[in-house]
Amino acid sequence: MTTYGSFPGTRPRRLRSNPVMRRMVAETRLHPADLILPAFVREGIGEPVPITAMPGVVQHTRDSLKKAAAEAVAAGVSGIMLFGVPEESKKDALGTPGTDPDGILQVALRDVRAEVGDDLLVMSDLCLDETTDHGHCGVLDERGRVDNDATLERYAEMAQVQADAGAHVVGPSGMMDGQIGVVRDALDQIGREDVAILAYTVKYASAFYGPFREAVGSSLQGDRKTYQQDPANVRESLRELALDLEEGADMVMVKPAGPYLDILARVADAVDVPVAAYQISGEYSMIEAAAEKGWIDRDRAIMEALTGIRRAGARNILTYWATEVAQKLKDQ
């Protein structure tokens, strides 16, 4: 006798039965266009310099940066976020290389725009930490504290020189109060309403930035806890989000990504502008280090981490694996 309605009646495993089925019902997909490549360019070097704490990532020469940009275009990556590393002797208290039209970041912006034109969104980190001799993201007052409003004046000038150098998008990352409004006004004053702002809206004072310090040759002593956000807080991030949108941000970002997926989801649910997340140096280095020791499957871990960020609500992801992953996605 045939028995119907046997337990269990519902079998979700049917939708996991083979690779084609799993692909068809996948709720979250990565695409090359989701990805943005952060890249470092260093002044005064003749060949790329490997970053010890970030295996596979280098400080580029101007020529190798142009090659990396072209490779990103070929892979279908949407953007490249540039960080300039000036010669140590050129750093000063005001971060002068950041506003010098011939500073390394501005030179690199012109190089990359000449190489790829509009085929890749050329983005610029708008911050002073790489260019100051004290390593902070702003100008210091007589007591050694970061002076918010004096820093905003520097950011306004930086925005203008970066736009003149060819940036499609500027990324104010210093977490100064009012920075988005000041940058928007500065750009509009020179007729650059076309330059978009990717606001580093949620940027936590994180231990996971460690490898980045080597990447940009940071001179920082102390910490950035008076301007970057407290990892314990959520409402503070949503307040920053409201302010950045009011001041004219075109896109917003959460940084770091992996340890703050709950924040990313809250931000993505709250806004109608594109949301990005930055998978930072420490997130990258942990996976690379564990894979080097044979503790995890490198490729699977990379894709799982990026999928988690995308699933949490990031429209775009800044990741040092951008070109590699984009190429793999194209080849699937």
Is 213 annotated in a binding site? The answer is yes
Q: Binding residue per annotation — 87?
A: no
In sequence order, what are the residues at sequence separation of 6 or more whose Cβ sits closer than 8 angstroms to the Cβ of residue 169? 79, 121, 122, 123, 124, 195, 196, 197, 198, 251
Residue 240 annotated as binding? yes
Contacts 24+ apart (CB under 8 A), 234-238: 234/262, 234/263, 234/266, 237/201, 237/202, 237/263, 237/266, 237/267, 238/266, 238/267, 238/270
Q: CA 70 from chain center: how many Å?
A: 19
Q: Which of 67, 90, 203, 225 does the annotation list as catalytic? A: 203
Q: Is 154 annotated as a binding residue?
A: no
91 is catalytic: no
- Is 293 among the residues known to form the active site? no
Catalytic residue among 67, 90, 225, 255: 255
CB 260 within 8 A of CB 230: no
172 — phi, psi (to 5°)? Answer: -65, 120
Residue 16 known to bind ligand: no
Binding site for Mg(2+), by residue number, is 240
Binding site for 5-aminolevulinate, by residue number, is 213, 224, 281, 320
Binding site, by residue number, is 213, 224, 240, 281, 320
Catalytic residues: 203, 255
